[in-house]
């Protein structure tokens, strides 16, 4: 039996997962709003695993726990949700220790000119854990298998003197459907 893995905010088709994105230019398998239209394409309780990689922070602020709870409705019992967002705690530590320049830190936070829009919110481990718990996920833990960093290319900012690639910490949390 094949597992149904859904990549919310995903791009392009792969045989391993079904990508869902509101932007048809990203060439997802399904084009829809991931905050309210999943029922048009998936039955409740039908998905084994949902992953949301560097997408949640681009959604409009509000009750993030409600969005996470909405997604949980589509998971099978004991199905899992993987959320990956920039680790704002780690980013602030890197900035404070001068491992990453303030210009780079602010660019990451605001993502001005980013093709997927600016970051609307940011999480540290404690706040993401709270939102996932409030949404009804259990056994929430860090996903130690996911890469700890993503590379941010600071090209186009020559005026800052900070052109280059920077390692930005990922916050990777996985939780299970409690039903």
- pLDDT higher than 70, residue 114: no
Task: Spell out the SS3 assignment of the chain.
Answer: CCCCEEEECCCCCCCCCEEEECCHHHCCCEECCCCCCHHHCCCCCCEEEEEEECCHHHCCCCCHHHHHHHHHCCEEEEEEEEEEEEEHHHHHHHHHCCCCCHHHHHHHHHCCCCCCCCCCCCECHHHHHHHHHHCCEEEEEECCCCCCEEEEECCCCHHHCCCCEEEEEEEEEEEEECC
Number of domains in the chain: 1
Angle at 146 between CA 126 and CA 93, to 5 degrees: 45
pLDDT tens-digit profile of 122-179?
Answer: 899 999 999 999 999 999 999 989 899 887 776 665 556 666 778 889 999 999 998 7
Tokens at 58, concatenated: 């681009």
CATH number, domain containing residue 60: 3.40.50.150
Burial, 97: exposed, middle or buried (Cβ in 10 Å; 0-12, 13-18, 19+)? Answer: exposed
Structural domain for 73, as ranges: 5-177
- Report, in angstroms and rounded to the nearest whole number, the Rg of the chain calculated over CA atoms: 17
Averaged pLDDT, 33-37:
94
pTM for this one?
Answer: 0.90
- pLDDT higher than 80, residue 110: no
Work out the mean pLDDT of the chain and round it to a whole number: 88
pLDDT winner (highest mean) among 9-13, 114-118, 123-127, 149-153: 123-127
């Amino acid at each position: 039996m094949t597992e149904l893995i859904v990549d919310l905010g995903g791009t392009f088709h792969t045989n391993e997962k079904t990508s869902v994105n509101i932007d048809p230019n990203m060439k997802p398998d399904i084009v829809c709003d991931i905050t309210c239209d999943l029922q048009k394409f998936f039955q409740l309780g039908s998905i084994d695993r949902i992953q949301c990689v560097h997408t949640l922070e681009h959604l409009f602020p509000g009750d993030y726990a409600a969005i996470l709870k909405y997604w949980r409705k589509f998971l099978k019992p004991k199905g899992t949700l993987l959320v990956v967002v920039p680790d704002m705690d780690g980013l602030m530590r890197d900035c404070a220790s001068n491992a990453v320049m303030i210009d780079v830190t602010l660019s990451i936070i605001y993502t001005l000119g980013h093709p997927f829009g600016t970051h609307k919110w940011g999480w540290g481990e404690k706040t993401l854990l709270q939102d996932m718990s409030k949404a009804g996920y259990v056994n929430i833990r860090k996903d130690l298998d996911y890469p700890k960093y993503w590379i941010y290319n600071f090209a186009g900012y020559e005026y800052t003197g900070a052109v280059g690639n920077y390692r930005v910490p990922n916050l990777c949390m996985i939780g299970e459907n409690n039903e």
